[in-house]
Amino acid sequence: MINIKPTIFFRVDGNQLIGLGHLFRCVALSVSVKVDFQIVFVCKHIPRSVSTQLKENGFLLNCISNESDFFNLLSSPSIVVLDGYGFDSDYQREIKRIGCKLVCIDDLHDKEFFADLIINHAPGTLPIHYKAQSYTKFALGIEYALLRADFFKNTSLTRTFDLINKVFICFGGSDTENITLKVLSSVINFNFVTEIHIVCGSEFLYYDQIIEYQNQDFRLSVYKNLSAIQLSELMNKCQLAIVPASTISLEAFVCQMIILTGYTIDNQLGILDGLSKFDCVYSIGDFNKVELYEIEKQIEFFRNKTFHIQRNFNSNEKWLNIFKELI
């Protein structure tokens, strides 16, 4: 007898305008549960590099032109995961009407939710922040961080830094405002920084500008489209991460790094507020408005400090049990 796996539909988009964070965390979640589920991504917008990654994992990709196409794909007893800001209460009710279990990955808690499960990995998030239903369950806080498994490999280690000389910089898959260059312009002014590692995403428009800096400064290394294991290894090599308060900041947090963070868009304020309460995490505020001297002042502060960092995390294995319980 053929054992047919239940299906999880991930309705999520990503491009230069909206960024790639929604896609990346859905990929992380799907990898954690794929052993017992068939995974189908349904997208209006998805870069070729991410669609290739989906196929390499054995996932299906269905590109749609309108939401009616998506609803026509659904049937009970499937699970639907929504990750995006356009899926309002009526949209959620339609999924429930079809008979699917509903999971919402959310940053904003700005509407009434009809989900069976709400996931928000911003530290400090509580159920009282949501207007939800009596049946709704929650997976809230950093212990539910939607990260790829490679980032959890060294979470039992304590990292001690007496010298801060290797800096990691990453501003997501697109960085449309080129904040990467602003931060780099500050970091290169410090002679005690011996290595600067910049990670660019597949949708980064200013890659050539960063390469020009690399050609002029031997300390600078530039990377593009790193795998999870490559990214985690690079984080474990560096001491200081300068990153926005998005998923990349949680990855740096799990890798026991010193973190200089801030927000580039308002939906990062929840993670920023939560992370800023931890030791060795420092907020710079709005990266769009911060002046170079403010970044330089904070980097100088790190120069003569000793840091001991120990943060314990569970792996992603819990997600499989959570989704099996939904079915």
Give Cβ neighbours of residue 112 (< 8 Å, ≥ 6 apart): 89, 131, 132
Q: 322 — alpha (psi -120 to 50), left (phi > 0) or beta? A: alpha
Domains along the sequence of the chain with CATH: 7-146+315-326 (3.40.50.11190), 157-309 (3.40.50.2000)
List the pLDDT tens digit at each of the 327 positions of the chain. Answer: 556 899 999 999 998 788 888 999 999 999 999 999 999 999 999 999 899 999 999 999 999 999 999 999 999 999 999 999 999 999 999 999 999 999 999 999 999 999 999 999 999 999 999 999 999 999 999 989 999 888 887 666 788 988 899 999 999 877 889 999 999 999 999 999 999 999 998 778 899 999 999 999 999 999 998 888 999 999 999 999 999 999 999 999 999 999 999 999 999 999 999 999 999 999 999 999 999 999 999 999 998 788 988 777 666 679 999 999 998
- 186, 276, 322, 327 from 102: Cα distances, Å: 45, 31, 13, 11
The pLDDT score that the predictor gives to residue 3 is 65
Whole-model pTM above 0.85? yes
The pLDDT score that the predictor gives to residue 80 is 98
The pLDDT score that the predictor gives to residue 157 is 72
Strands annotated E in the chain: 7-12, 38-43, 60-63, 79-83, 101-105, 117-120, 137-140, 159-161, 166-170, 195-200, 220-224, 240-244, 258-263, 281-286, 307-309
Q: Which of 57, 98, 61 is nearest to 80 (CA)?
A: 98
